[in-house]
Structure 1
Amino acid sequence: MIIQSHIADLPTPTGTMRTYVHRPAGEGRFPAILFYSEIFQQTGPIERAARIMAGHGYVVLVPEVFHELNPIGTVLGYDDAGRDKGNADKSAKPVESYDSDNRALIEWVRQQPWSTGDVGAMGFCIGGHLAFRAALQPEIKATACFYATDLHTNTIPNKPGQHSMERRNEIKGELLMIWGKQDPHIPGEKRAEVYAALNATPGLVFTWHEFNGQHAFMRDEGERYDPQLAMTGYQLALALFGRTLR
C-alpha cells in the first residue's frame, strides 16, 4: 500500500504528546497499532519500521515516549550522549504516566474516521516494555514486544503493585514476545524468569520466540542489524495483527 504520514499533537495529563501517524493513503477504515520507540524516540529506523507496518494496512502511531521531558520533536542520536539522555528520561518518568499516554492514544484513535476501533501495540527495546504496558489497557487486542527491556527489573520508577509484570494478569489480548539470545540487556536467566511468570498467569495467551540475535537486531542501522531476523520479526507481528485486529 502507498502510505501517508502526518503529525498529531495529543493532550495528556502530563502535557502535549507529539504523535507521528503513518497510515494507508487510500480511503477506508483500518486497525491501529500503537508503536513504541526505543529511548531515542522517532529516529529514522523507527520511522521506517512504522511505515513498513502501515504499508500492510494499519494506522501506526508513534508517540514521543518522553514528551514531558523534552521539547516537541526531540530525536536523540544513537551515540553516548543520546543514550545517556534517553536512559535519564526513562528513569525520570513515572510508570503511571505511560498509562495516561495510552489512554490518550486509544481515545484519539477511536474518534478518527479512518479507525475500525481495533487497536494493537508494538515496540522495540524500552518500547517493547511500553507495548507490554499498553496491553494492560482492555482495548488492546494484541501486542508484539521485541526484546523488551526492564520487564525483569524495577528500574522504571513505579509504586508497589504498579510494575508492569506485577499487573500482567490484567492483559486481555494476545502477546508476542521476541528476544535475542545474545542480548546482554536481558540475559538468559532473566528471560527465563519472565517466561515463567507469563506461563503461570491464568488465561494469558502468548507466544515466545528467541533468536540468535543481538539487542536491537531489528534496527536497520548499525552493526547489530540482522535483516533476515528483522524480516522474520515483521512477519510474526503481521501474522499476529492479521489474526487479531481484522
Structure 2
Amino acid sequence: MTVTHSVTDLPTATGTMRCKVVRPTLEGAFPTVIFYSEIFQITEPIARTAAFLAGHGYVVIVPEVFHELNTIGTVLAYDDSGKEKGNADKFTKPLTDHDSDTQAIVRWVDQQSFCNGSLGSFGVCLGGHLACRAALHPRVQAASCLYATDIHSSTMPAGDKPQTIDQLSDIAGEIMFVWGRQDPHVPLVGRVHLYSQLNQSDTHYTWHELNGQHAFIRDEGERYDPELASLCQRLTLDLFHRTLR
C-alpha cells in the first residue's frame, strides 16, 4: 500500500524530540512500530526502511535518538566525523533518557486515531539495543533487534536503572535478535553471553546468526547485502504480522 510522510515534535522529559511518522494512506487504524535508528539518526536508508515497513500496514515512528544533544533535524554523515559524533552521543545519553523517550512516544500513539493500540519496536545497531530496551515497556508486544550493540558489554551509561541485559526477564512480549557473524561490534563471546542470559531469564525469543558484516541491511555503502536485508525484512514482517495483528 502507499504511505504518507510527516513529522511530529513530542515533548519528553529531556526536551523536544522530533519524530518522522510514516503510515498507510488508507483510512483506518493500524499497529504501530517504533523504529530506532543507528547513531546517525534519520538518514535516507533509515527513512527508506521506515517506508518499506509502513507499506505493509504499520504506522512507523522514527525518533531522533539524540535529540537532547543535537539541533532538531540533525542527520550525521556515514563518515569518520559522523561516526565520532554519534558514538560520543551514544556514550553520553543514559539509557533512562531513552526510556523516557519511549514513554513519550507511547503517550502520543495512544492519542492518534490511526493507531489501533498494538505496539512493536524495531531497530538496527544502536537502535537494535533501543528496540530491546523498549521491549521492557509493558505495552510493547514484539521487538525486532538487528545487530544490537552494547547489550552484551553493558558499556552505555544506564542512569538510575539496571543495564538492559540485567532486565531481560522483564520482557513480556516476543523478541527477535539477528546478528552478523562477521560483525566486530558484537563478537562471538558477546553473543554467547547474551544468549546465555536470555535462556537464564526465560525470555520468549528467537535468534538468527547470518554470514554478514555489521550494518548489512543498510542500503548504502560496501557492507550492504541485499539478500540478507530481504531475509531480515521478511523475518521482521513475519514477527509483527503474527504478534501485532
* TM-score normalised according to structure 1 size: 0.98
The residue aligned with 2:87 is 87
Q: Is the 8 A contact 2:31 2:58 kept in 1?
A: yes
The residue aligned with 1:240 is 239
Distance 1:93 1:151 in 2: 15
Distance 1:14 1:160 in 2: 15
User: Residue 128 of structure 1 aligns to a residue in which SS?
Assistant: helix
Q: Could you tell me how far 1:67 is from its partner in structure 2?
A: 0.3
Q: Is the 8 A contact 2:34 2:120 kept in 1?
A: yes
The residue aligned with 2:205 is 206
Q: Is the 8 A contact 1:175 1:206 kept in 2?
A: yes
Q: Which amino acid aligns with 1:223?
A: E
The residue aligned with 1:5 is 5
Q: Is the 8 A contact 1:14 1:68 kept in 2?
A: yes
Q: Could you tell me how far 1:159 is from its partner in structure 2?
A: 4.3
Distance 2:164 2:57 in 1: 29
Distance 1:143 1:157 in 2: 22
The residue aligned with 1:227 is 226
Gaps of 5+ in 1: none
Q: Is the 8 A contact 1:96 1:162 kept in 2?
A: no
- 1:174-219 Cα offsets, whole Å, 9 max, x none, are 00100000000000111011011101113x2100000000000000
Gaps of 5+ in 2: none
Q: Is the 8 A contact 1:33 1:59 kept in 2?
A: yes
**Superposition pairs for residues 113-192 of structure 1, below 5 Å?**
113-159=113-159, 162-192=162-192
- 1:15-50 Cα offsets, whole Å, 9 max, x none, are 000000000011010000000000000000000011
Task: Spell out structure 1 runs of 4+ moving beyond 6 A.
Answer: none
Q: Which amino acid aligns with 1:2?
A: T
Distance 1:225 1:105 in 2: 30
Q: Is the 8 A contact 2:154 2:164 kept in 1?
A: no
User: 1:81–1:183: structure 2 CA closer, same or farther, 3 Å change rule?
Assistant: same
The residue aligned with 2:70 is 70
Distance 1:224 1:4 in 2: 29
Q: Is the 8 A contact 2:96 2:161 kept in 1?
A: no
Q: Which amino acid aligns with 1:4?
A: T
- 1:110-147 Cα offsets, whole Å, 9 max, x none, are 11000110000000000000000000000000000000
The residue aligned with 2:50 is 50
Q: Could you tell me how far 1:161 is from its partner in structure 2?
A: 5.0
Q: Which amino acid aligns with 1:211?
A: L
Distance 2:160 2:74 in 1: 31
* TM-score normalised according to structure 2 size: 0.99
Q: Which amino acid aligns with 1:31?
A: P
Q: Which amino acid aligns with 2:128?
A: G
Distance 1:150 1:193 in 2: 12
Q: How many residues in Structure 1 have an aligned counterpart in Structure 2?
A: 245
The residue aligned with 2:112 is 112
User: 1:71–1:161: structure 2 CA closer, same or farther, 3 Å change rule?
Assistant: closer
Q: CA RMSD in A?
A: 0.8
Q: Which amino acid aligns with 2:228?
A: L
User: 1:65–1:159: structure 2 CA closer, same or farther, 3 Å change rule?
Assistant: closer
User: Residue 15 of structure 2 aligns to a residue in which SS?
Assistant: coil
Q: Is the 8 A contact 2:154 2:165 kept in 1?
A: no
Q: Is the 8 A contact 2:153 2:190 kept in 1?
A: no
The residue aligned with 1:100 is 100
The residue aligned with 1:216 is 215
User: Residue 69 of structure 1 aligns to a residue in which SS?
Assistant: coil
